[in-house]
Amino acid sequence: MLDENLLRTPLHAVHRAAGAVMTPFAGWDMPLRYSSDLAEHAAVRERAGLFDLSHMAQIEVSGPDAARALDHALVTRPGVMAVGRARYSMIVADDGGILDDLIVYRLAETEYLVVANAANRTVVLDELTVRSETRVHVSDRTSSRALIALQGPASHEVLEPLTRRGDGADLASLRYYAAAPAIVAGLPVLLARTGYTGENGFEISVPAPSAGDLWAALSEAGSVAGIQACGLACRDTLRLEAGMPLYGHELTRDVTPYETGQERVVDLDHDFVGRAALAARSAEPTGTTLVGLVGEGRRAARAGSTVHDAEGEIGTVTSGVLSPTLGHPIALARVQRARAPVGTSLEVDVRGRRQSMTVTDPPFYRRSR
């Protein structure tokens, strides 16, 4: 039975009509899978997959002081980005705890788009508003826009015949972590390349009323290539193979970027909320970090599994799965930095039994083309 309190994306009826298994996620009724998790995962690795990401927050920040406001609000400096570029970033609290990880797109000199996690939409919206000055306008565009992702090695061949960029450039010239206005299937969109699966692909932000038409056009264009509609379940296994963190698992309010292996994201050469706390953490050589773990056999560690060395417990698995692509267990774990260098053999408690796993640098999977 449908929970009437759950939010619905503009593609909700499409998912229901396709027979998707739906699930509550971050306050939304979202497709978990359409066929099987393994089939959808394989479609993205081998051909192309189509995802509805309309639950993710789309927040517009504009005005004469937009760049300065975002520099103050985030751990990176959006103010130095060129128009048309994107950057992975984070918003932290005064004590450095991670409020969310997000992607910032610079659409014009005084206009940005911030795409944040669905569960943190209100937090990010409120914090961006509070941290902005009078000549900045912060607007939640989530309900008026849809976000569709096309991921996989065939994504370019599916999208190219449908696409006309406003600057006349071809699709191949759109760089990784960039965005540009375009016409796709006759519809005005913002076309981006960031990705969360480890594959080549595109994200398409479109006005909500046009979402169904765009989904249908992409599905039809990709039918020859074997495109498949994909749900949240395979998105999680894909991102884990790609070694990408997920808020609520690898990243939480209780940890800073320096305790999760994300210190490279932080730019201490500018003033921002939480800078003092993060500067103090950067000087500490100890503490925890995020590592990859690989094992043998078929038993996968899961979030919450404890990690041990010869002297005792040193951390906890944050995400784990039997990798559909690689065929062996993989995991991300937050562990004591000094006790888990790459190559170290550790033991993980998997449902009451110890299993050997080796520390490695993510990602676990890298595309070959």
Q: What is the pLDDT of residue 3?
A: 76
Q: What is the pLDDT of residue 52?
A: 98
For the stretch 331-341, pLDDT in tens is 999 999 999 99
CA atoms within 13 A on the CB side of 126: 8
Nearest to 359 by CA among 293, 307, 264, 260: 293
CB 58 within 8 A of CB 158: no
Q: Please report where in the chains the tokens 């921002």 appear, as a residue.
A: 272
Which pairing describes strands 137-140 and 21-25: parallel, antiparallel, or unpaired?
unpaired
Q: Please report where in the chains the tokens 């003033």 appear, as a residue.
A: 271
**Region of residue 311 (left: phi > 0; alpha: psi -120 to 50; beta: else):** alpha
Structure tokens at 88: 């992975």
For the stretch 26-48, pLDDT in tens is 999 999 999 999 999 999 999 99
Distances (CA, A) of 133 to 63, 72, 122, 232: 10, 10, 19, 37
Q: What is the largest CA-CA distance in the chain?
A: 62
CB 189 within 8 A of CB 205: yes
Q: What is the pLDDT of residue 104?
A: 98
Nearest to 361 by CA among 294, 288, 297: 294
Q: What is the pLDDT of residue 369?
A: 58
Q: What is the pLDDT of residue 2?
A: 61
Q: What is the pLDDT of residue 301?
A: 97
Nearest to 306 by CA among 246, 346, 278, 272: 346
What gap in Å lies between CA 255 and CA 245, rounded to an integer? 13
What gap in Å lies between CA 113 and CA 124, rounded to an integer? 12
Q: What is the pLDDT of residue 216?
A: 98
Nearest to 26 by CA among 66, 53, 59: 53
Q: What is the mean pLDDT of each run of 10 residues along the chain (369 residues)?
A: 85 98 98 98 98 98 98 98 98 98 98 98 98 95 98 97 88 95 97 95 98 98 97 98 98 96 96 97 82 96 97 98 98 96 98 96 89
- How does the average pLDDT of the chain come out, rounded? 96
Q: What is the pLDDT of residue 96?
A: 97
Q: What is the pLDDT of residue 198?
A: 96
pTM of the model: 0.96
Length of the chain counted residue by residue: 369
Q: Please report where in the chains the tokens 């994201």 appear, as a residue.
A: 265
What gap in Å lies between CA 104 and CA 350, rounded to an integer? 38
Tell me, rounded to whole angstroms, the distance of Cα 171 from its chain centroid.
22
Nearest to 252 by CA among 61, 90, 45: 90
What gap in Å lies between CA 322 and CA 297, rounded to an integer? 9
What gap in Å lies between CA 91 and CA 127, rounded to an integer? 9
Going across the sheet that includes 111-116, the strands are 86-92, 98-108, 111-116, 57-62, 137-140
Q: Which amino acid is at 101?
A: D
Structure tokens at 150: 């096309």
